[in-house]
Chain A
Amino acid sequence: MGKKNWVMPYIRQYRYLLVLAIFLGFLTILLGGALMFTSGYLISKSAARPESILMVYVPIVGVRTFGIGRAVVSYMDRLSGHSLVLKILSEMRVKLYKVIEPQALLVRSRFRTGDILGILANDIEHLQNFYLKTFFPAFVSLVIYAVIIACAGLFSLPFAILLAIMIGLLLFVAPIVSLFYTKAKNERLKKTRNELYYQFADAIFGINDWIFSGHSSQIIEDIQKKEHQFFQLEAKKQSFGNWRDMANQLVLGTIVVAVIYWANGLTVKGVLSPMFIAAFGLAALSLMESFLPLAAVVSDMTTYEDSLQRLEMIEMKRSIVKQRQEPHESSNDSSNLIEVNHLTFGYSSDDLLLNDINLAVSPGEKLAIIGRSGMGKSTLLHLLQGALTPISGEVIIGGRDVTRLEDSITAYISVLNQKPYLFHTSVRNNIRLGSPQASDEEVIRVAKMVQLDEMIQQLPQGYETNMQETGQRFSGGERQRIALARILLQNTPIVILDEPTVGLDPITETKLLSTIFTTLNDKTIIWVTHHLIGVEQVDRILLLEHGKIVMEGSHQELLKREERYRRLYRLDRPLQGKI
């Protein structure tokens, strides 16, 4: 459970506001009780036919005050509760961001869930409800409980104990029993729902396979069966809730009867005037009702567990990043911009992803890396950026060990990857992210370089058009060009291209590559590519296999020397030499 990190600190931090919110919640219920109390008193007193209306003037004022006061306080209570929760939400967001930020480059490879980041953001929103729907009401009920028992204790100790036990049924027994019952049920419901989810995903995503196989009625039947199972579970849970609520109501009725009995006893003894029987009876009716929703609310607590667990997990992963070993001090003054020496990496020493890689790249050199997926290409890139720490060996950029560069690495390396993210803001701001100080003229200059200026000018609001509202208007190639413009502003000596053309059609691809190589002419480029379109433009090609460089040379050299390369090239460019 992640309560330790994601719930308690905020409770501590905002204890005063929390006390205020709980106090207001308490006051709301108390005023409701007071309204019924004074009303009951008022009419009992009136029933005694006092000579003048002035005799009941105080209760009349009381009834109005409590009535209006309850509405006002309840309004304030809701506002203060929400305000507090939004404050906590804001802090949790910052915290989550700080947790994820250091591992930003690795999150995608660590979690298979497509949109883990979106899910985490939702988890935080979900935790809001924990405060509003579970935490506040539970605490308010406890306070009310304490006050009621204390007040009863002033009159009679045995009655206070009896009341403590009876209300305890509503306040402790029902919620705890229900928590235990629903915990197991919720677990099974979640499991069934997951299975259902996969079945649905199979049905919808695999729809053409079902149609072609001719047994699509099978999956519908399967889903119905599973749905039925799910429904049975839910029906049981629902019916449990119904009967529990009913039992609670009966307890409530009994408490009211007990209160009347007790108040009557006091009047018989002469401690109280009979006017108070109605007052106590009505107040009890109103106060007890505030305890009723508690059981349902508490049994929902299990639904927060998933969110907490996920948040906890992402926090644990952070520690993996942090274990930095002391980097070697290197005495490097060669002319190479990037030097990779005996670089070895793996998550365990018998399963190495990279094994003794050596590489030197001089300023302005253009390098292409090819190889199958899972052969260490992305690991190498992560090591070059200092996001991973090698088992042994080092990466030296500009004469310094990258693991020491930490965040200043972005002054050396910029990255264009497969799916550059475009933010929910204007086109201009998206480009300007490359260099926040850039003037409008500079933004336009780079937009012209990537050949987008004309297209952007034609948008309804030009450079001010919101990126995401344009929806489909930006094609894959155009999105890459925006990201490229960003990189031009960032103006780093090294640019990493991480398969930027996957998913583009060949003509778009060729054009994009041509723009990339023209605009980045003076930069050092490390380009990971899945096929060979455009490789003629680089100075050197590396083939990575099983964590080693198995082939190295310029395009012409490799064509001459390596049969394997010739074969791949023929596949990629079947008509070269034939035209």
Chain B
Amino acid sequence: MDKALFTYKGVKPVLVKLAIITILQSGTIIAQAFYLADAISSLYRGDLFRAVIMKLAVFLLALFSRQLLTVWKKQITFHFAAKTSENHRDLLLQKLFRLGPRFVGEEGSGMTVTLVMEGVLKFRNYLELFLLKMINMAIIPIAIMLFILTVNIRSAVILMIALPILVIFLVLLGLAAKSKADRQFKSYHLLSNHFVDSLRGLETLKYLGLSKDHITNIKDVSDRYRQATMKTLRVAFLSSFALDFFTMLSIATVAVFLGLGLINGTITLHPALMILILAPEYFLPIRELGADYHATLDGKNAGKKMEEMIASESGEQEMEAVPFWQTTSTLAVKQVNVKYHDNKRAGLKDIEFTVSGVKKIGVIGASGAGKSTFIHFLGGFLEPSSGEIWINGDRVCSLSAYGWQRQVTYIPQHPYIFNDTVFNNIRFYQPEASEQEVREAAENAGLLEVIQSLPQGLETIVGDGGRALSGGQEQRIALARAFLGNRPIIILDEPTAHLDIETEAELKETMLKLFNGRLVFIATHRLHWMLDMDEIIVLQHGRIVERGSHEQLMKQHSYYDQFVKAQEGDCCHG
């Protein structure tokens, strides 16, 4: 039983409503059996068909009402499940936007999309099925049992005894199947993944000349997988076998005892027949409970995962005003520390620096030295655990403040291209920009040639669902956004390292043009950027170890100097 179920908003009235309908429904089930048995037994006694038409009509009416109530119940649970899952999804989305890219990155962006897309559906499905099954299970067998008790105690006792036995066997066999599956899990997992593994690695197999021979391997493993699965299924299906077996056995026993009762004259045909019709209905809810077990389990887990994410900590975004960055502005960072909760990564330690006005600042260091963390701190994606930030002499609580972020253009290594037209992609930050302005920005970013080569020009759909762009073109879209947005601060995270060198060279020119008159932070491994920087911040193990221009740092025989030489490589002095 899932306790969380009872905490959802509006679940109680829904449960009460469902319970009332189900009680009514039990009445219709009994009426249905009563009148069908009545009709049959009077025909048996030799009554004319005309005489039982009314009874059969009532039977049909009962059947009709029962189904009508089922539809009603389904609609209620459907809407409740939809509302609850919708609520979860909205909370989750809002939470994600508050937690920001850092969190999404840690969870895995793909994972998060799947959770929101699939998880919500699964959760809804679970709520829908589970509520119905639970309420049916809780009410219908008891109602039928109570009714039979008033008619024939012996049958009622048989059914009463059968149910717990059935449940016990179900649980025992379920456990046996689970432990068997658990024992096999490792090999099972390996076998079931073997095919996907083979397909994904096909290119590599081909290079190695093994791809043809691998076919026998696949066949072999598939057969082993089949055998292993069948072994597990043989046990797993036993639980539904037990369910069937005991249901059928109970019905048969009830039938035999009813027969004996009839022979002895302790019961008449009508109630006997009625009990026989009701017996399968008595077992129906528990049999339904077992079906779709895995689907409901998945949904339950998805719900749990969403609730965990919703419950995770996040600060509200500060709405505080941050003065607009001008050539006279200063940003002072004092004693800032950033810690990761998993303690695996270094974070930042005692970061302290001051920058003012228009300046280009390079951030450099070995991988793992904290470059990305530094950039994420500047972008306001993560909150420092201690330290102070001052802008123009005023203390600012956090760089995640809206007032700071709306002055910043952030360009990562792989800028995201939205599933939309090139036009809308460029004016993402300025949705009201005119075509003229967009064209200008595109021209500045060197995109015009690319746009001309596209089938529908600016109106071409790009992104995952549209036309694919190369890495360099994606960067140019990001640059066009930046030109159009015209924000005074630009933060870049390794914008060119993955590009081929000629594209890199061209992009660099465009970028330098963009940097004019702005405050720029650029974290990169690529040394050529450093020559164009006014100042370089050198990071090592999360600390700033050196600051200064390229020339200053080279002269000192510094860490920077060693680092640069290591990177230029000793192998390369041809």
**Contact of A507 (CB < 8 Å), options: B70, B219, B464, B567:** B567
**Contact of A424 (CB < 8 Å), options: B190, B272, B566:** B190
What are 13 contact pairs spanning A and B, CB under 8 A? A71-B248, A78-B233, A198-B463, A209-B429, A220-B90, A238-B78, A246-B70, A260-B39, A370-B500, A423-B197, A423-B201, A424-B197, A536-B571
A476 to B249, CA, bound (A): 62
A121 at the interface (CB under 8 A from B): yes
Contact with B along A39-79 (1 / 0, CB 8 A): 11011111101100100100110011011101110110011
Interface set of B (CB-CB < 8 Å, partner A) = 36, 39-41, 43-44, 46, 49, 56, 59-60, 63-64, 66-68, 70-71, 74-75, 78-79, 82, 86, 89-90, 93-94, 96-97, 100-101, 104, 109, 112-113, 116-117, 190, 193-212, 214-215, 218-219, 222-223, 225-226, 229-230, 233-234, 237-238, 240-241, 244-245, 247-249, 251-252, 255-256, 258-263, 265, 268-269, 272-273, 276-277, 280, 366-367, 379, 381, 402, 405-406, 408-410, 412, 415-416, 418-420, 428-429, 431, 463-465, 468, 470-472, 498-505, 508, 525-528, 530-531, 554, 564-569, 571-574
Q: Closest residue to B82 on the A side, CB-wise?
A: A231
Chain A residues with Cβ below 8 Å from B247 are 71
Q: Decide: B240 and A93 in contact? CB cutoff 8 A.
A: no
Contact with B along A411-452 (1 / 0, CB 8 A): 101110100111110000000011010000000000000000
Q: Decide: A203 and B201 in contact? CB cutoff 8 A.
A: no
Q: Decide: A281 and B218 in contact? CB cutoff 8 A.
A: no
Interchain residue pairs A-B with the least CB separation, the first 8: A410-B209, A536-B574, A90-B222, A67-B248, A46-B262, A67-B252, A421-B201, A71-B244
A204 at the interface (CB under 8 A from B): yes
**Contact of B100 (CB < 8 Å), options: A45, A211, A510:** A211
Least Cβ distance of B219 to chain A in Å? 5
A152 at the interface (CB under 8 A from B): no
Q: Decide: B44 and A44 in contact? CB cutoff 8 A.
A: yes
Chain A residues with Cβ below 8 Å from B78 are 235, 238
| Known contacts A42-B255, A373-B470: A574-B204 contact under CB 8 Å | no
**Contact of A436 (CB < 8 Å), options: B64, B86, B204, B210:** B210
Q: Closest residue to A416 on the B side, CB-wise?
A: B207
Stretch binding the partner chain, chosen from A6-14, A300-308, A498-506: A498-506
Chain A residues with Cβ below 8 Å from B252 are 35, 39, 63-64, 66-68
Q: Decide: A90 and B251 in contact? CB cutoff 8 A.
A: no
A507 to B365, CA, bound (A): 11
**Contact of B564 (CB < 8 Å), options: A50, A66, A483, A575:** A575
Chain B residues with Cβ below 8 Å from A490 are 208-209
| Known contacts A101-B202, A534-B572: A82-B233 contact under CB 8 Å | yes
A153 at the interface (CB under 8 A from B): no
Least Cβ distance of A197 to chain B in Å? 6
**Contact of B206 (CB < 8 Å), options: A101, A197, A231, A505:** A101
Q: Closest residue to B212 on the A side, CB-wise?
A: A407
| Known contacts A108-B203, A253-B59, A423-B201: A281-B572 contact under CB 8 Å | no
Chain A residues with Cβ below 8 Å from B256 are 42, 60, 63-64
Chain A residues with Cβ below 8 Å from B94 are 220
Stretch binding the partner chain, chosen from A112-120, A137-145, A167-175, A176-184: A112-120
Q: Decide: B44 and A206 in contact? CB cutoff 8 A.
A: no
| Known contacts A71-B245, A220-B90: A35-B251 contact under CB 8 Å | yes
Least Cβ distance of A484 to chain B in Å? 13
**Contact of B43 (CB < 8 Å), options: A78, A224, A246, A260:** A260
Least Cβ distance of B382 to chain A in Å? 12
A417 to B201, CA, bound (A): 12
A40 to B259, CA, bound (A): 10
Q: Decide: A82 and B208 in contact? CB cutoff 8 A.
A: no
Range class of the A interface residue count: 35 or more
**Chain B binding site: helix, strand, loop or mixed by DSSP?**
helix
Chain B residues with Cβ below 8 Å from A243 are 71
Q: Decide: B251 and A39 in contact? CB cutoff 8 A.
A: yes
Contact with B along A18-43 (1 / 0, CB 8 A): 00000000000000000110111011
**Contact of B248 (CB < 8 Å), options: A45, A68, A86, A227:** A68
A207 at the interface (CB under 8 A from B): yes
Contact with B along A75-98 (1 / 0, CB 8 A): 100110011001101100110111
Q: Decide: A67 and B431 in contact? CB cutoff 8 A.
A: no
Q: Decide: A46 and B209 in contact? CB cutoff 8 A.
A: no
- Number of interchain pairs (Cβ within 8 Å): 422
Stretch binding the partner chain, chosen from A315-323, A334-342, A388-396, A564-572: A564-572
A40 to B113, CA, bound (A): 56
Chain B residues with Cβ below 8 Å from A423 are 197, 201
Given contacts A98-B215, A205-B109, A242-B70, could you give 17 more A-B pairs where the C-beta distance is less than 8 Å? A90-B223, A93-B222, A97-B202, A115-B200, A117-B200, A198-B464, A200-B113, A208-B100, A208-B412, A220-B93, A227-B86, A250-B63, A257-B59, A407-B212, A433-B208, A510-B572, A571-B504
Q: Decide: B60 and A274 in contact? CB cutoff 8 A.
A: no
Q: Decide: A212 and B405 in contact? CB cutoff 8 A.
A: yes
Q: Decide: A204 and B428 in contact? CB cutoff 8 A.
A: no
Interface residues of A in 188-202 (CB under 8 A from B): 194, 196-202
A253 to B269, CA, bound (A): 21
Chain B residues with Cβ below 8 Å from A35 are 248, 251-252
| Known contacts A63-B255, A246-B71: A87-B525 contact under CB 8 Å | no
A139 to B277, CA, bound (A): 28
A508 at the interface (CB under 8 A from B): yes
Q: Closest residue to B189 on the A side, CB-wise?
A: A424
| Known contacts A118-B196, A407-B209: A536-B408 contact under CB 8 Å | no
Q: Decide: A79 and B63 in contact? CB cutoff 8 A.
A: no
Chain B residues with Cβ below 8 Å from A415 are 207
Least Cβ distance of A6 to chain B in Å? 16
A532 at the interface (CB under 8 A from B): yes
A223 to B97, CA, bound (A): 13
A568 to B255, CA, bound (A): 92
A201 to B554, CA, bound (A): 45
A43 to B49, CA, bound (A): 21
Q: Decide: B262 and A47 in contact? CB cutoff 8 A.
A: yes
| Known contacts A202-B419, A224-B90, A410-B207: A79-B237 contact under CB 8 Å | yes
Least Cβ distance of B105 to chain A in Å? 9
A455 at the interface (CB under 8 A from B): no
A201 to B417, CA, bound (A): 10
Q: Decide: A97 and B104 in contact? CB cutoff 8 A.
A: no
**Contact of A56 (CB < 8 Å), options: B40, B86, B196, B263:** B263
Chain A residues with Cβ below 8 Å from B569 are 506, 510, 514, 533-534
**Contact of B402 (CB < 8 Å), options: A64, A203, A214, A531:** A214
| Known contacts A42-B256, A94-B222, A533-B572: A414-B207 contact under CB 8 Å | yes
Q: Decide: B97 and A220 in contact? CB cutoff 8 A.
A: yes
Chain B residues with Cβ below 8 Å from A514 are 569, 571
Least Cβ distance of B227 to chain A in Å? 9
| Known contacts A206-B418, A215-B431, A574-B528: A75-B200 contact under CB 8 Å | no
Contact with B along A521-560 (1 / 0, CB 8 A): 0000000001111101100000000000000000110000
| Known contacts A42-B255, A246-B70: A216-B97 contact under CB 8 Å | yes
Q: Decide: B104 and A207 in contact? CB cutoff 8 A.
A: yes
Q: Decide: A257 and B60 in contact? CB cutoff 8 A.
A: yes
Q: Decide: A414 and B208 in contact? CB cutoff 8 A.
A: yes
Q: Decide: B202 and A245 in contact? CB cutoff 8 A.
A: no
A214 to B322, CA, bound (A): 14
Q: Decide: B212 and A101 in contact? CB cutoff 8 A.
A: yes
A98 to B199, CA, bound (A): 10
Least Cβ distance of B365 to chain A in Å? 10
Q: Decide: A242 and B222 in contact? CB cutoff 8 A.
A: no
A286 to B465, CA, bound (A): 50
Q: Closest residue to A545 on the B side, CB-wise?
A: B502
A362 at the interface (CB under 8 A from B): no
A198 to B200, CA, bound (A): 25
A354 at the interface (CB under 8 A from B): no
Q: Closest residue to A197 on the B side, CB-wise?
A: B117
